[in-house]
Amino acid sequence: MRYSNVCIEAFAHSLPDEVLTTEALETMLLPLYSRLKLPEGRLELLTGIRERRLWPRDRTPGEQSVETARQLFERSGIDPNRVGALIHGSVCRDYLEPATACGVHHALGLPRNCAVFDISNACLGILSGVIQIANMIELGQIEAGIVVGTESSRSLLEATVRHLNTDLSIDRKSVKSAFASLTIGSGSAAVLLTSTVISRTGHRLLGGAVSAQTEHCALCRSETDQSGGDAMNPLMQTDSETLMQEGVRAAAAAFEPFLSEVGWSRSDIDRTFCHQVGKAHQQLLFESLELPPEINFSTLEYLGNTGSAALPTAASIGIEQGFTKPGDRIALLGIGSGINVVMLGVQI
């Protein structure tokens, strides 16, 4: 996968005001902790996540995605009439149909000749959308496109807490399958891609690689398909340890093809933005890829795992805080349940 005419022009993000600390979450789980005699503080100790955020109850994913996309326009100065595609890529969406992207497109007042659709690919939805937009630009079909998504963790967290506190069949072994659900946070992110002809930044998307290790598709599963909002009360079952091991193994298998596609060696990579899961996953990933951990920008400590929004949010915050500089070679390293891997290289 190589591109010669595509730029990642801008990232944008927005975060909820409401903060839920891991300490407060464990307090909510006091009935479970007391019954199973679980030590307080273990959740933050194991994950490195001290807090996550929650959107207001009446805030839909689409409404927040509109606000994040508007930030993208402000940052980039792009004329909305030049946007030829809009993709909504988060796990959370407003309805089963129509596509959440439809409402976002309408609220933003984008052109009628704009391709509008959703992509669902677990934690890789936004990154998968980036590839689709990049392909359309490279083919000359459009000159600019937006990928946006908003993840909301409130319903999952509240449903998980209720389940863990009331299901007396849960023991110290079976509680582990709900562990990953307690790491989930809320966030919103957007990415603008343009052709090199109209780019103001010249931040080239060089290419990348994908890998599908779908024999592991049962390691992380939600309940059957449901709509978003207050009606959604999902539960997830996750084999966290196996998912971490197999996910990192899948990433390691994809890394050499990625380097080959973009023409880099390991030492060429100046900065990385990764999917944010937990400190153990992050440490194992960088050990396996033989990369120095200090080149990565981490947000998991105060945002938790924000699903598809995690990687682009980290990129948006990192760039905003001066973590990157002109000339940097940046690796976007995405791993999602399924297991799927997407790795992209950007030259700024």
Domain ranges of the chain: 204-347
pLDDT per position in the chain (348 positions), as tens?
A: 999 999 999 999 999 999 999 999 999 999 999 999 999 998 999 899 999 999 999 999 999 999 999 999 999 999 999 999 999 999 999 998 999 999 999 999 999 999 999 999 999 999 999 999 999 999 999 999 999 999 999 999 999 999 999 999 999 988 888 888 999 999 999 999 999 999 999 999 999 999 998 888 877 777 644 444 444 556 767 667 787 888 889 999 999 999 999 999 999 999 999 998 888 888 999 999 999 999 999 999 999 999 999 999 999 999 999 999 999 999 999 998 888 999 999 999
CATH class of 204-347: alpha beta
- Does the reported pTM lie above 0.75? yes
Confidence (pLDDT) at 229: 45
Q: Which amino acid is at 100?
A: T
Confidence (pLDDT) at 84: 98
Confidence (pLDDT) at 281: 86
Confidence (pLDDT) at 234: 65
Active site annotation includes 97: yes
Within 8 A by CB and 6+ apart from 340, the residues are 121, 122, 124, 210, 211, 212, 213, 214, 250
Active site annotation includes 217: no
Q: Which amino acid is at 123?
A: C
The catalytic position among 40, 74, 97, 287 is: 97
The catalytic position among 92, 102, 123, 274 is: 123
Token duo for residue 79: 């004329």
